[in-house]
Structure formats: C-alpha cells, structure tokens
C-alpha cells in the first residue's frame, strides 16, 4: 500500500491516541478502526488528559543549537540522525525513514475536540466553547513547533511565498491530499486560533497540562516576536504576566512562580544537590508539577539525562557568573566519568523530560526583549534582573550599568542561552534572529574535537539549513509536494 503523509500521520497517531490517560479503559472505543469515539462533553474534556499529548519529539532542536560542541569518542556512538543534525547536513533521514518531529497526532486530537464538541451531549454552551478554545490554543502551539522546523524563518517580505507545512483542520485519517501552506498562512492560522481562544480561556487552570489564558497570551506574544513585531507582542506578554498571579487555583498543581535556585540548589537542599557527587537526576519537579510551567509540555532530552555526545562550548560555560546556581547543572565528566577533553567545556545534568511548553522564565525574557526593542531599557532591566536574582546572588544579578539598546538586547539573548542551555531553545532563537538586522550578519558554527581535545572539524550553518528538509519518504509518496532546498 502506498505510504502517504496521511499514512505517516496515521502510523504515528494511533498508538498514542489509543492510550488514555484516564484509568477508565473503556473511555475510547474504536468504531471504526483509527477513529476516536467521544459522546458527551465530558469525553471531549478528558481527551486533553491523554498522556501522549504531554511529550513531543522535539529533541531534534538540541544538536542544532550553536551552544553545543561534539567530541569524537562520544560523538561516534550517537545516532546517524544526531550526527547529521550537528553537522547541519542537507539530508537528515534515510530515504525510507520517517521524521519523528513531523508529528500530527496531537493536532488530530485537537481537531476532533474543535469540530465535534459543539454537538456533544451534556455540558453547557460555555463549557463547550471553553474546550474548543483550549484545543485551538494547543493546536497553535503544535503548529508553532512544526513551522519552526519546516518553514523558513518568518520574513514579512517573503512569507507569503515561502512553503510552510500542511494545515490539517479535520480529524480524518482518510485524508490523502496534503498541500504545504505558506509560512504566512501558517502564522495567520496560529494567530487566528489564539485570538479566537484567549477571551474564552479560563484564567484559573485546573492543571498545568491544560492551556489557560496566561499561557495562550504568552504564546501569541512569542509568535509576534518571532514575526519581528515587538509592538504587537508586548501587550500580550504584559497581559500574560498580569494573569500569572491569577492563574493559581489554590493548589500546588497550579501555583505559578519562579524557583529560587539559591534555595532549591543549595547543598543538600530541596532538590537534593550534592556538591561532592551530583546525582544523575535532581529532585526537580516533573513538568506537570513544575511551578515555572504555564503550559506543561516536554520532550525527552537524552543529552541532559544519560547521553553525553554533546556538551556546552567553553564560551557558553564562561558566560555564567561565579555565583550562578545554574552552573550546578553542569558537569566536567561524561556519563562514563571521562572528562571532556576540551578545556572549559562541560556537559549538563538534568532530567529526561525537558520543559518546552510555555514557561515563566521564557515569559520574563521575552517581555524583557520586547521592552528593550521598544527602548524601554529600565523595564527590560527590571524583567531580566527579576529572573537573574532567582538564579544567582543579588549582587551578581544586577546588570552592568549604562547598557544601550543594542547592548541590552544582546545581553538578553545571551541570558536566554544561559537559562536554556542544551534544551533546544537556541535553535528557534537562531532562526528568528537570522532575519533581525541586529543579528543577521552573525555566523553560526559547530566545532568537532578528537578524544584529546584537538579541533578535528568545523561546520558552518548555511542559510538554507535554518529550515529542515522534509523526509524523502513524504516527498516520494505525495506527488506535487515540494521540498525545501
């Protein structure tokens, strides 16, 4: 049977969709095979609790960031996919290999909720509209991931003609025709979903894995900033920040606040940090209990858990202040206890579930950046120092005096590298900054060292590789679908 994009979606989708988060094993029936059956409004509400929605295959972003380097003896043991990503190669996948990040399974569920909840039995009209709004906001988040893999970085002058990703709006696995919408169409689609959703979303959330108003506002603000439109982004980020304090429904599962790493990462403190022998995994709360998560989503980050092929560059490590508690997440040795041979390079500890939904640190840094770009340097300083004081001593948290607008913006971008090192955020930032006149001339390189620490290879990112190519299997079985250069 011909393998189409529809079949790939179907194959990826079914095992995840048919695993209900609820303990009720009869909640989902298969009538006919390949379709989710829901009857009343409560059924559609429960679809949001499907455990498969929480984790997405976003680890592809980690080797792409320019804050990482690779060392020969460890690098050669990693997957061919990871090696190709690090080298920013044109072809990442074998001709018959599917891309795990090309995942529409969550979008299938959101489309089902959007299209069917209005006709469900039971529930009030307000409840139904709130569920539909929540699904639209989550669908926008999923498309934001996809467009930042397969669409060119947003450029107002070319976005209408730049190929993006297919816009799938129905929960129908029998679809067999997929056309790549333009980058502009995808951004317009995400904006409309969020604009429609925000007024109908609850301010107080019942769980971090559900989308509330503050998270949706923060996401829309981030989308506008990725479109180089800080004027549109800032009011949304302001509203999101104002709603953060109102999000708490009075339970530990919904409290939203920054952790003070000066406390949580103290020796033998709440997270179990041991300065003599740091543990494999700290006592960091899971994504659904982490107070810094406004909308809990994660990917399995092998390189902050049990794999050590990629480490942080010496320049990244040296950028941390001496009292920065985030240094305690770094390690000089690989998982085999061998030291990284590049002087100053370090790996990173953490947990396998890497937060990449909508987070409070990101909100602080996005608002700081928007304020700086609009020349509110005092406001930008306030935001970034509010984050830094939770990461290091109060003295070192203070920014250098006299920063001008460009200095402030660059400081914020560097702070983003420190905060999100080896977590995949840098790749999305590299993409968006490539269309920013302030950063457009920057060159991105990866350095590959042998086991003794001698430089063995240098890879320079080509502009066209800011966009991943679709797997050849998708192109071959979908005649007429164009690939990226």
Q: Determine the pLDDT at residue 250.
A: 63
Could you identify the residue written with the tokens 């971008």? 413
Q: Determine the pLDDT at residue 28.
A: 25
Q: Determine the pLDDT at residue 384.
A: 98
Q: Determine the pLDDT at residue 57.
A: 87
Enumerate residues 6+ apart whose C-beta is below 8 A from 357. 141, 215, 287, 293, 294, 295, 296, 297, 298
Enumerate residues 6+ apart whose C-beta is below 8 A from 286. 351, 353
10 Å CB burial of residue 157 (0-12, 13-18, 19+) is exposed
Q: Determine the pLDDT at residue 358.
A: 98
Q: Determine the pLDDT at residue 335.
A: 65
Q: Determine the pLDDT at residue 20.
A: 31
What global pTM score does this model have?
Answer: 0.92
Q: Which two tokens stand for residue 335?
A: 């998982």
pLDDT along the chain (485 residues), means of 10: 39 34 28 59 94 90 97 88 97 94 93 96 96 98 98 98 96 81 98 98 93 97 98 98 79 84 91 75 83 95 85 97 95 80 90 91 98 98 98 98 98 98 97 96 96 95 97 88 95
CA distance 122 to 120: 7
Q: Determine the pLDDT at residue 99.
A: 94
DSSP strand pairing (445-449 vs 68-71): parallel
> Which CATH number does the domain 5-258+357-476 belong to among 1.25.40.390, 3.40.50.720, 3.30.1780.10, 3.40.1160.10?
1.25.40.390
Q: Determine the pLDDT at residue 281.
A: 56
CA distance 239 to 251: 22
Enumerate residues 6+ apart whose C-beta is below 8 A from 15. none
Q: Determine the pLDDT at residue 426.
A: 98
Residue 421 CA to its chain's centroid (Å): 13
């Amino acid at each position: 049977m011909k393998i189409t994009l529809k079949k790939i979606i179907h194959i990826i989708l079914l095992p995840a969709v048919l695993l209900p988060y609820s303990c009720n094993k009869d909640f989902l029936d298969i009538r006919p095979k390949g379709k989710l059956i829901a009857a009343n409004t409560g059924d559609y509400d429960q679809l949001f609790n499907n455990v498969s929605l929480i984790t997405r295959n976003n680890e592809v972003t980690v080797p792409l960031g320019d804050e990482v380097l690779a060392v020969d003896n460890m690098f050669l043991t990693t997957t061919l996919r990871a090696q190709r990503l690090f080298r920013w190669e044109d072809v990442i996948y074998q001709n018959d290999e599917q891309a795990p990040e090309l995942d529409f399974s969550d979008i299938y569920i959101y489309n089902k909720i959007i299209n069917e909840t209005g006709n469900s039995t039971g529930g009030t009209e307000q409840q139904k509209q709130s569920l539909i709004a929540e699904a639209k906001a989550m669908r926008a988040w999923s498309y934001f991931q996809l467009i930042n893999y397969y669409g060119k970085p947003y450029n107002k002058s070319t976005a209408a003609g730049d190929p993006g990703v297919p816009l799938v709006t129905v929960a129908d696995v029998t679809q067999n025709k997929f056309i790549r919408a333009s980058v502009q169409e995808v951004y317009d689609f995400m904006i409309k979903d969020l604009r429609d959703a925000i007024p109908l979303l609850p301010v107080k959330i019942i769980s971090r894995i559900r989308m509330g108003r503050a998270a949706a506002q923060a996401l829309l603000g981030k989308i506008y900033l990725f479109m180089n439109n800080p004027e549109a982004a800032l009011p949304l980020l302001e509203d999101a920040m104002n709603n953060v304090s109102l999000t708490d429904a009075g339970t530990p599962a919904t409290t939203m606040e920054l952790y003070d790493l000066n406390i949580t990462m103290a020796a033998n403190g709440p997270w179990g940090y041991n300065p003599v022998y740091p543990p494999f995994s700290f006592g960091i709360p899971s994504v659904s209990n982490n107070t810094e998560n406004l909308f809990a989503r994660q990917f399995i980050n092998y390189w902050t858990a049990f794999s050590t092929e990629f480490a942080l560059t010496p320049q990244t490590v040296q950028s941390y202040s001496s009292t920065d508690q985030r240094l305690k997440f770094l390690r000089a040795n690989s998982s085999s206890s061998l030291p990284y041979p590049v002087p100053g390079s370090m790996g990173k500890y953490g947990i396998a579930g890497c937060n990449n939904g909508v987070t409070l640190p990101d909100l602080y840094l996005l608002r700081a950046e928007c304020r700086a770009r609009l020349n509110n340097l005092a406001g930008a300083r306030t935001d970034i120092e509010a984050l830094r004081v939770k990461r290091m001593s109060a003295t070192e948290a203070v920014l250098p005096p006299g920063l001008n607008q460009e200095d402030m913006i660059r400081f914020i971008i560097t702070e983003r590298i420190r905060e999100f090192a080896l977590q995949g955020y840098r790749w999305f930032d590299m993409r968006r900054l490539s269309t920013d006149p302030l950063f457009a001339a920057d060159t991105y390189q990866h350095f590959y060292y042998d086991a003794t620490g001698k430089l063995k290879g240098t890879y320079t990112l080509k502009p066209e590789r800011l966009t991943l190519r679709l797997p050849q299997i998708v192109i071959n079985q979908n005649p007429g679908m164009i690939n990226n250069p």
